[in-house]
Structure 1
Amino acid sequence: MKQGIGWSFVAGSRTISRPCLGGNVLCRKRSAVYASWLPSAQIASSAFTLGTAAVLPFYTFMVVAPRAEFTKKLMENGIPYVILGILYAYLLYLSWTPDTIRLMFASKYWLPELPGIAKMFSSEMTLASAWIHLLAVDLFAARQVYYDGLESNLETRHSVSLCLLFCPIGIVSHIITKALTKQAD
């Protein structure tokens, strides 16, 4: 057994063990990108915290100062979606395994099944990527509620707040608020 230490900027350091075989043996060099030298639980935890903290200022301004020019300009910005999208893609890459598609679409009809999805989400990395996905979609929905409220001159603070953690309920809250406001007029 031949041992050595390999190092790269992307993968960090790692020990490489190769069996010693007599004669000339053609070995294909595997090209693999190793995402990080940090433990995956630490990456997942950091991404979870970073993603959650990144969206809070947007929600805060939509709730505290919805009509302020600063808030309107802030909400026009697409940067949070780009950042969350990149973070999501990175976590998805780290959590992807050869079995991912098989777990997601386990039935013969290629439809997702709950046991396969549950097994996938038993990984912290997959769970962190799903959380970032939810944060991006929830922020987008909250922004739509916010814009609709500005356009229709409706109160949206309660609906935007609900969108942070209970997005479908926040959307329903906005629809009900809009309907009740129309009836009152």
Structure 2
Amino acid sequence: MNTLPQRKLGSTLQQTWPKSRPLIARVPRSSGQVLQPLKGPCIQRSSTGPVHGRSLKCNSTEAAVEAVAPCCKAAAASAAAATAAPVAATLPEAVIYTVVASTAYTALCFIAMALFPRKSAGFFSSVWPFIPLSLAYLALLVFSWSPDTLQIMMPGSLKEGLSGGFNPQFFPRLEGISALFGRLGVTASWVVHVLVINLFAGRWCLLEGLRHGIPTAHSVLLCSVFGPLGLLAHCATKALSTVVPALKAEEEAVTLKSEQGTITILPYSSEPSSS
């Protein structure tokens, strides 16, 4: 077998071996950077390297780039997570205690109206049940109010409204209301606002049901969470009681005693008595 001399073989490999391509630095795609060739010792070819003419210095540079790339990816991911994470807002403890106390107070009122309708009717026929909730709502409203609250709630301009044509102003918009509810103070005052409305609806169902002798426990409990649905349930019960008389509860006789005798006040009948 004919063999070429070692020097001739070395020169042949140098002539026929393709030129090495410049190493391209690997960067995360999310960074938006354009891939650039890495200028370094890797572009210099050597015939004495262990891997087809590449030097040890070139291999060490590639290893360094491979080691840096995961670190860049991890740093970019942590930066994106920190940007996307919302900043947790805090409320004063007084605001939190006010909302919790108002919710507990309203729950006790609804339980009393549902379980003891006749005994609690005298208390709920007055305005006293709404005084604590109204004061709590006033305090939370003052706390949550800011100079731009009214402008966000009812955006518009008087000048644009008077400019001519149909251009209504100061109408609430869902975008503004959603922006206001993004503030925790406004949300706290809104919770107490809903509690007052629901309690007023339940109180109306209770007194109206006692006046007409129809059950009110289901409508009162429904008003504790869904005020309008509780009113709807009460109206449906009242309409159904005219068709099904068995739904009406037996009215207890209420009498008034005096020196002249005893007078029956309830049940009241508009029909004239026969003498």
Q: TM-score range by the shorter chain?
A: 0.7 to 0.9
1:66 equivalent in alignment to 2:117: yes
**SS of residue paired to 1:67:** helix
The residue aligned with 2:195 is: 135
Which residue of 235, 242, 253 maps to 1:175?
235
Which residue number in structure 2 is paired with residue 84 of structure 1? Answer: 133
* Residue of structure 2 in register with 1:93 after alignment: 142
Moved over 4 A (4+): none
State the Cα distance separating 1:65 from its structure 2 match: 1.5
Instruction: Name the CA distance, whole Å, in 2 between partners of 1:124 and 1:141.
Output: 26
Contact 1:107 / 1:113 at 8 angstroms: preserved in 2?
no
Deviation at 1:41, TM superposition (A): 4.2
> Shift of residue 112 of structure 1?
0.4
Report the structure number with the largest CA radius of gyration: 2
Distance in 1 between the 2:115 and 2:148 partners?
A: 45
- The amino acid that maps onto 2:129 is P
TM-score if structure 2 supplies the norm length?
0.50
Deviations 1:111-147 (A, max 9, x none): 0001111111111111111111111111111100000
Deviation at 1:73, TM superposition (A): 2.4
2:216 aligned residue (156, 162, 169):
156
- Contact kept, 8 Å, 1:41 with 1:125, in 2: the verdict is no
Tell which has more relative contact order, 1 or 2 (C-alpha 8 A, sep 6+): 1
Matched, 1:114 2:174: yes
Instruction: Please tell me whether residue 123 in structure 1 is matched to residue 183 in structure 2.
Output: yes
Structure 2 residue 241 is matched with structure 1 residue 166: no
Corresponding residue for 1:21? none
Mapped to 2, the partners of 1:113 and 1:41 lie a distance apart of 29
Confirm or deny: 8 A CA contact 1:104 1:113 kept in the other structure: yes
Tell me, in whole angstroms, the C-alpha distance in 2 between the residues paired with 1:67 and 1:82.
22
Q: Compute the RMSD of aligned alpha carbons.
A: 1.5
Identity of aligned residues (%): 31
Gaps of 5+ in 2: 1-89, 158-168, 246-275
Unaligned runs of 5+ in 1: 1-38
**Structure-1-length-normalised TM-score:** 0.74
2:207 corresponds, among 134, 137, 147, to 147
Give the whole-Å Cα distance in 2 for the aligned partners of 1:80 and 1:119.
32
Once the 2 structures are TM-superposed, how far is the Cα of residue 106 of structure 1 from its aligned partner?
A: 1.7
Give 1:6-45 correspondences, 5 Å limit: 40-45=91-96
- Cα-to-partner distance string for 1:64-84 (whole Å, 9 max, x where unaligned): 12123xx12221342231111
For residues 136 and 129 of structure 2, what CA distance do their matches in structure 1 show? Answer: 10
**Counterpart Cα distance in 1 of 2:185 and 2:132:** 18
